[in-house]
């Protein structure tokens, strides 16, 4: 990869004009600007598309409603213009050095294929924000690492080399609106893809889904159909066999049984 890789940021959006405005404002203030920003308008009925155009970013329409159809459409659109495809959501508010951190990490580590980070929830009580950061997202990173051998790719805060998306784009269940797109993507990845989690790479994101029991339960329950959609690829025994045949490191090698946000793999030379 060149010293200055081309970065395209993909933002799936459906009826989120107000949040999108804040997100794009934060992207425009990056110390390392994106080479391209793509907003995927997922059949919005509000002013989301108009807000995106007012910010001067590219707007792509995806009529099939669902986060996976919208995200996959954006990744496909980015393939021809990007070395790195970065992803956040309309309610994300990236810190000014977010893209700069991503670029430094990928340049420093040629083996890095996917970099993901944690969350800083806003818009709820301090308790809800804390539990969301440390148990919902943080716990998800830990348990998915235990089961799949790689950290959970957090959909509101990650980036991947375009070559990784080219490999998995026909494997993911990209038209399925009833599953977690980020978990489905994680299931299709392998340790050889160079998936890393850096807890210092944090993303402010709205706590809206965590403020009601219904919203939280809906998110937790979607884990089941996500694994079902990829069966048996997401099964532990299947991944063990695949890792053994490819000579990959044992993906059950986790040093601690009690979750801590620093237990996962770090990207060399980044975030320490």
Question: What are 3-27's pLDDT values in tens digits?
Answer: 689 999 999 999 999 999 999 999 9
What is the count of structural domains for the chain? 1
Express each pLDDT in 205-224 by its tens digit: 887 665 555 655 565 556 66
Per-residue pLDDT at 239 = 56
Q: What CATH number does residue 201 fall under? A: 3.90.550.10
In a domain, residue 146? The reply is yes
In a domain, residue 59? The reply is yes
For the ranges 2-6, 165-169, 234-238, the one whose mean pLDDT is highest = 165-169
- The CA-based angle 259-263-264, given to 5 degrees, is 115
In a domain, residue 257? The reply is no
In a domain, residue 222? The reply is yes
Per-residue pLDDT at 154 = 92
Mean pLDDT of 185-208: 90
In a domain, residue 28? The reply is yes
Determine the Cα–Cα distance for residues 39 and 17; give it in Å rounded to an integer: 11
In a domain, residue 44? The reply is yes
Whether the CA torsion 97, 102, 106, 109 is positive or negative: it is positive
What share of the chain has pLDDT > 70, as a percent?
A: 71
Residue 231 in this model has a pLDDT that exceeds 90: no
Residue 203 in this model has a pLDDT that exceeds 90: yes
In a domain, residue 252? The reply is no
pLDDT band for 146, please (50, 70, 90 cuts): confident
Give the residue from 19, 61, 16 showing the smallest Cα distance to 38: 61
Q: Domain of 164? A: 7-246
Per-residue pLDDT at 2 = 47
Residue 264 in this model has a pLDDT that exceeds 80: no
Separation of CA 159 from chain center = 7
Top pLDDT among 265 and 143 is at 143
In a domain, residue 79? The reply is yes
């Amino acid at each position: 990869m060149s010293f200055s890789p081309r970065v395209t940021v993909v933002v799936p959006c459906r009826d989120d004009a107000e949040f999108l405005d804040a997100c794009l404002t934060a992207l425009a203030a990056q110390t390392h600007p994106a080479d391209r920003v793509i907003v995927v308008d997922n059949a919005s009925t509000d002013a989301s598309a108009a807000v995106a155009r007012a910010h001067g970013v590219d707007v792509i329409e995806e009529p099939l409603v669902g986060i996976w159809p919208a995200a996959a459409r954006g990744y496909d659109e980015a393939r021809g213009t990007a070395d790195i495809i970065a992803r956040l959501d309309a309610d994300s508010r990236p810190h000014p050095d977010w893209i700069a951190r991503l670029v430094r990490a990928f340049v420093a580590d040629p083996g890095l294929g996917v970099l993901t980070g944690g969350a800083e929830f806003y818009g709820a009580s301090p308790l809800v924000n804390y539990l969301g950061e440390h148990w919902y997202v943080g716990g998800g990173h830990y348990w998915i690492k235990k089961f799949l051998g790689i950290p959970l790719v957090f959909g509101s805060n990650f980036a991947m080399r375009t070559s990784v998306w080219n490999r998995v784009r026909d494997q993911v269940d990209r038209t399925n609106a009833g599953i977690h797109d980020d978990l489905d993507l994680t299931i299709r990845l392998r340790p050889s893809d160079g998936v890393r989690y850096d807890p210092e790479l944090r993303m402010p994101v709205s706590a809206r889904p965590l403020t009601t029991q219904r919203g939280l339960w809906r998110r937790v329950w979607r884990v089941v159909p996500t694994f079902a959609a990829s069966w048996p690829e997401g099964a532990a025994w299947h991944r063990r066999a695949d890792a053994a045949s490819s000579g990959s490191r044992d993906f059950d090698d986790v040093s601690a049984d009690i979750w801590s946000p620093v237990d996962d793999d770090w990207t060399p030379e980044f975030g320490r």
